Amino acid sequence: MYDVVLLTLGSERDAPGGCGNGGACCGGATGADTDPTSQTTAGQADTDLTNTGHTDTGRTDVEQCATERPRVPVLACADALNARGARVETVTARSDAEIDAVLARFDGPARPDGLTWPDSDSKTRLVVATASDGQLRAVLRRLVRRYAPAPSRRPADLPANRTLPDLPPVAVLPLDPARGGTHRDLAAQLGLPRDPAAVAAAVLDGKPRRLDLLRNDGGSVTLDGALLGAADDAGRPLHWRARVEVDDAILTDGAEPLLACAVGNAGGYATLDDVTLLTAPDPADGKVEVAVAVPVVVRSAWGRKRVRLEVRRARGRAVSVLPREGKVPYLDDGVEGELTRKRSWWIEPGAWAVWSI
């Protein structure tokens, strides 16, 4: 029978401001995402959460983020797993180090080249209880940090279109029922079970469903997508400029104003208000879909000016966004940040997986 680890990070209910390194544990942006002086490379990842906890209230954000007691869905999932004979352990991670201690259980046998690789025959299974997609992303980011080799140590058995091996499958236990409705989280988009007993069944009886992963040169990952741009206090979109390239296609050279740019692995940012940005985002097709919304001034037959919104789209393996002026706010898997320098995302086909019936 399987050993199952039920991993909880921190509840957004307990710490809306996030925890640790910009809130990575609770789903907030990491320092690599927000610090313009950070030069984290694609082969690196964020620093430990415990290095930068704020202490304004007399305790670190890591402590604020921690959930003292398992949430009801976690207990229900544990009961369902125990009823099937699984050996269950519940873990609340208050730092990256504690997440890493859980992930170390998936290490495979020592390789001749000295790399740490996941054990494809592991009898341990992981359930991540998430209050947001950002929390799931935090765990995947730590998996990438653990198993992605440095470019100088790239092994011959790594696929040509990948920079990391197949990551261990994870099961997703959503903690917020509302995100399965109008505010659809990634689990809802993927059609994953939300009921704790159904999640337990997927862990024990399901099969891995492999999905694409977006890595970026800020040292993080994206599971769903990113939306760049901002609005004023009245909700009106603000203009900004950036050069946006998808493979060899240039969607905008940075000379014209933009209202939004969507980078989509899945469909979380497919629409903005009533505007369709992404038409067919698919988290398993090996492509990233990118769209920019450009306001274009046109004249009617009577010479009157009006603004038409032009949406340009492209699909490919990689995208880069180079801001031309100031800071560009963004959401990445629901995590807020500001882009001040060039950011590149690239697709890792089938790099991660979820347990699914």
Residue 16: pLDDT band by 50, 70, 90 thresholds?
very low
Question: Which amino acid, one-letter code, is at 61?
Answer: D
Alpha helices of the chain — where are they, by DSSP H?
Answer: 31-34, 61-65, 72-83, 96-103, 133-147, 186-190, 196-205
The 10 Å CB-count burial string (b at 16+, else e) for 81-108 is: beebebebebbbbbbbebbeebbebbeb
Question: Which amino acid, one-letter code, is at 93?
Answer: A
Report pLDDT for 69: 62
What SS3 class is residue 322?
strand
What is d(CA 227, CA 253) in angstroms, rounded to the nearest whole number? 18
Task: Give me the mean pLDDT over the 56-84 stretch.
Answer: 67
What is d(CA 6, CA 144) in angstroms, rounded to the nearest whole number? 20
DSSP state, residue 285: S
Indicate yes or no: pTM above 0.95.
no
Alpha helices of 10-60 — where are they, by DSSP H?
Answer: 31-34
Q: How many other β-carbons are positioned within 10 Å of the β-carbon of residue 143?
A: 24
Report pLDDT for 13: 36
Task: Indicate if the pLDDT at residue 356 is higher than 90.
Answer: yes
> Token pair for residue 147?
């198993």
Summarised one tens digit per residue, pLDDT across range 141-152 is 999 999 999 999
Q: Which helix (H) or strand (E) is 290 found in, with range?
A: strand 288-299
Summarised one tens digit per residue, pLDDT across range 242-298 is 999 999 999 999 999 999 999 999 999 999 988 999 999 999 999 999 999 999 876
Question: Which amino acid, one-letter code, is at 17?
Answer: G
What is d(CA 53, CA 63) in angstroms, rounded to the nearest whole number? 9
Residue 125 near residue 5, CB atoms below 8 Å: yes
What SS3 class is residue 82?
helix
Task: Indicate if the pLDDT at residue 328 is higher than 80.
Answer: yes
Task: Indicate if the pLDDT at residue 66 is higher than 80.
Answer: no
Q: In 3D, which of 53, 64, 58 has the Cα closest to residue 14?
A: 64
What SS3 class is residue 45?
coil
Residue 10 near residue 67, CB atoms below 8 Å: yes
The 10 Å CB-count burial string (b at 16+, else e) for 316-347 is: bebbbbbbeeeebebbbbbbbbbbeeebebbb
Which one has a higher pLDDT value, 3 or 42?
Answer: 3
DSSP state, residue 283: T
What percentage of the chain has pLDDT greater than the value 70? Answer: 80
Residues facing 345 on adjacent strands? 216, 319
Report pLDDT for 22: 40
* Average pLDDT across the chain, whole number: 84
What is d(CA 128, CA 145) in angstroms, rounded to the nearest whole number? 17
Task: Indicate if the pLDDT at residue 17 is higher than 80.
Answer: no
* Residues whose CB is less than 8 angstroms from the CB of residue 161 and which lie 6 or more positions away in sequence, other chains included: 286, 317, 348, 349
Task: Give me the mean pLDDT over the 193-201 stretch.
Answer: 97
Which domains, from first to last, does the chain contain?
3-11+69-205 (3.40.50.10330), 225-348 (2.60.200)
Report pLDDT for 199: 98
- β 288-299/305-316 pair status: antiparallel
The winner for highest mean pLDDT among 32-46, 177-191, 261-275 is 261-275
What is d(CA 123, CA 133) in angstroms, rounded to the nearest whole number? 26
What percentage of the chain has pLDDT greater than the value 90? Answer: 71
Report pLDDT for 117: 96
Residue 277 near residue 288, CB atoms below 8 Å: no
Residue 29: pLDDT band by 50, 70, 90 thresholds?
very low
HEC string for 203-248? HHHCEEEEEEEEEECCCCEECCEEEECCECCCCCECCECEEEEECC
